[in-house]
Structure 1
Amino acid sequence: MIEYQGYFGRIEFDDSADIFHGEVLGIRDVITFEGRSVEELKQAFRDSVDDYIEFCTERGEEPEKPFSGKFLLRLGPDLHRRVSAQAEASGKSLNAWISERLEESSAS
């Protein structure tokens, strides 16, 4: 993974073409980039993100951001009941409690 201005890219290596290529993740628009070296790939990623933002600005559109900070989570009723009880017992909202658990999990 690579990150620039809040955009994340996935990188793959094409052995037959001897080139790195990547795509920005988490948005509906398609932003791709490629390079023969790591530095060339990083620069192509940054240039592609900058070009995307500039293109959106020229069209008077807001560039899509990959993550809004909101996501829908579906749980089975029993798990929903258990985590709600744990959140309540800790004096936290369900959202705050789940956010803390995710933060702890992503730190390891």
Structure 2
Amino acid sequence: MNNNNLTVEQFNQLIQQWSGKNIKITKQELGDKDTIIMKLDDISYHNDTRRIDDYESLHSIHLIGEGTTETGPQTAQPLPTSSYKIPLEDTTRYQFDDIRFSLVNERGTYTIELSG
């Protein structure tokens, strides 16, 4: 896989082009793996200055849309909210290989790709 490193601005410009499309998000964080399928309606960025502890990220991207999370083989549950939050750190690496985005930071790896 040939990953091209992006700035956050380049990442935002490219991911905005996927608005209105179905995406698959794979999260590998703290030994846990989740898969989410959603119709991406919008993208927003948030700063949380009222954090309770350091586990909560200061910055995050919210992928907004209706979707499901895989809970087991051939089973899925609706997302509890119409937004999926990915924590962003100052050290987050944004990568794109022409078919998928990868956001890599100390918390984990988040892969976003188009879903058939």
TM-score by length of 2: 0.29
More helix per residue? 1
Greater strand share, structure number:
2
Bigger Cα Rg: 1
Higher RCO (C-alpha under 8 Å, 6+ residues apart): 2
TM-score by length of 1: 0.31
